[in-house]
Amino acid sequence: MSNFNPADNIQDLQYFGEFGGVNPSISDSSTYTFLSAKTMFDTFEGNAEGCYLYSRHSSPSNLYLDKALAAMEGTETANVAASGMGAITPTLLQLCGNGDHIVSSRTIYGGTYAFLKNLAPRFGLKTTFVDITKLDIVEAAITPETKVLYCETVSNPLLEVADLAGLSKIAKKHNLKLVVDNTFSPLSVTPTQFGVDIVIHSLTKYINGSSDTVGGVVCASQEFINDLKNVNSGASMLLGPTMDSMRSASVMKNLRTLHIRIKQHSFNAQYLAEQFEGLGLKTVYPGLKSHPSHELYKGMINPEYGFGGMLTIDTGSLDKANELMELMQSRNLGYLAVSLGFYKTLFSAPGSSTSSEIPMEEQKEMGLTDGLIRFSIGLDNDIKRTFEMMRQCMKEVGVI
């Protein structure tokens, strides 16, 4: 493992506002003037470094955030988008066209799954979904038409861990692009350190951390980002999932505290996972020795950021899961809500919410049970107090 430290890279960025402000100025314009018509022409040809054209292509505020997220992920550059899906779908459509094939993990965010399964085929794009933890199965699914290997570092919602180094070897051997959604594990894992080509985040989650906006980013080579933004053929430029400058300025401010938040999320989740497991609950958390990929993940993380803030428990049935979540919400232990990375704990039953796009049969096959509750553990100051209150709820509902 190298000395790469994503939080140091973010800290080392120094931006000044237009009037010497400590935050960069917000560029509140959709279009930009040119002092000469020739420069405008050159910019359309993609040749005018430092010139802005139109904010669907680039804006100064978005470029600040691009630069910071590229520094965090160790890529040449990045391109922010209006949502995580606004980063994922243009990336895949840029890399693949009619007749091409993707090998994807079957345990991915329900929206990405639905895109690959239902919408992408309309563009002639086929996907084979595999158990990403089995490298031989992944390799066997590759065909001469395969262009992309796709997965999440830690999967939503089952918290399966992808062996990024192993997948990268396969991708290089077959000349594929390895695209990884790192939404669940910012700072903890730096996918490019394992040979990943393109790293995607839903900024909506940990990176923004205050559940007040959606956002996304693609971190990649300058060449690929140029392709995405190409005025004639770029999927980001032409599909138009552009982040607003006001939003990118606010996400940028939240990014500056990400390292502190991730440490606290991880500390709290590790504590609760151990306690839940101690109560005899079926608990999944990559920081538990009982997690099938615990040792692998331990070798992948930047240790100071821990194993992340996501965990699941199995309550046995959807009714029990719902009863427990409603009670915990009424006791102010968190919100019954989808999404993750918020300062308060969020919980939901993925089978009937974020993963409901995945057909029932397939949910069963991948181990996504009705009674599963996914927790995004918050920044609680006293996690022991939280645990005692959660234990009381579990007792009352009859889960323990």
Ligand X SMILES: Cc1ncc(COP(=O)(O)O)c(C=O)c1O
Q: Which residues contact ligand X (rule: CB under 6 A)?
A: 83-85, 109, 111, 152, 156, 181, 183-184, 202, 204, 214, 216, 339, 354
- Residue 153: how many other CB atoms lie within 10 Å: 26
Please tell me the distance from the alpha carbon of residue 24 to that of residue 234, in angstroms, as a whole number.
Answer: 28
**Among all chains, which residue has been given the structure tokens 């992944």?**
138
Question: Of 52 and 184, which has the nearer Cβ to ligand X?
Answer: 184
**Residue nearer to ligand X on the CB measure, 255 or 383:** 255
Return the amino acid letter for 58. S
Q: How far is the CB of 145 from ligand X (least distance, A)?
A: 25
Contacts of 245 (CB under 8 A, 6+ apart): 26, 27, 28, 55, 59, 60, 61, 62
Q: What's the sign of the alpha-carbon dihedral 195, 199, 205, 208?
A: positive
Of 83 and 133, the one with the shorter C-beta distance to ligand X is 83
Q: Output the smallest distance, CB 342 to ligand X, in A.
A: 12
102 closest CA partner among 123, 72, 76, 128? 128
**For ligand X, which is the closer residue by CB, 182 or 268?**
182
Smallest distance from ligand X to CB 121, Å: 20
Going through 153-235 in order, the beta strands assigned E by DSSP cover: 177-181, 198-202, 216-220
Least distance to ligand X from the beta carbon of 357, Å? 11
The answer to whether residues 375 and 345 touch, using CB atoms and an 8 Å cutoff, is yes
Query: In the bound complex, what is the minimum distance in angstroms from residue 200's beta carbon to ligand X?
Result: 7
Among candidate residues 13, 159, 149, the one with its CA nearest the CA of residue 78: 13
What are the residues facing 102 on neighbouring strands? 127, 148
* Distances, alpha carbon 307 to alpha carbons 45, 61, 273, 303, in Å: 45, 32, 11, 8
Residue 374, amino acid? R
Select 104 or 354, whichever has its Cβ closest to ligand X.
354
Least Cβ distance, residue 339 to ligand X (angstroms)? 6
Nearer to ligand X, 177 or 247 (CB): 247
> Which element (helix H / strand E) includes 41?
helix 37-44
Compare residues 237 and 251 and give the one whose CB is closer to ligand X: 251
Q: Which of 106, 153, 152 is nearest to 358 (CA)?
A: 106
For residues 27 and 156, which CB has a smaller minimum distance to ligand X in the complex?
156
Measure the CA–CA gap between 23 and 316, rounded to whole angstroms: 49
Query: How far apart are CB 177 and ligand X at their closest, in Å?
Result: 18
For the CB of residue 272, give the shortest distance to ligand X in the complex, in Å: 20
Q: How far is the CB of 355 from ligand X (least distance, A)?
A: 10
Minimum CB–partner distance for residue 199 and ligand X (Å): 12
27 versus 355: smaller Cβ distance to ligand X: 355
Nearer to ligand X, 6 or 84 (CB): 84
Q: Which residue is nearest to ligand X (CB)?
A: 84
What 65-70 contacts at long range (C-beta under 8 Å, 24+ apart), as own/partner pairs, is 65/217, 65/243, 65/248, 65/249, 65/251, 65/252, 65/255, 66/217, 67/13, 68/10, 68/13, 68/252, 68/255, 69/201, 69/207, 69/217, 69/219, 69/255, 70/219
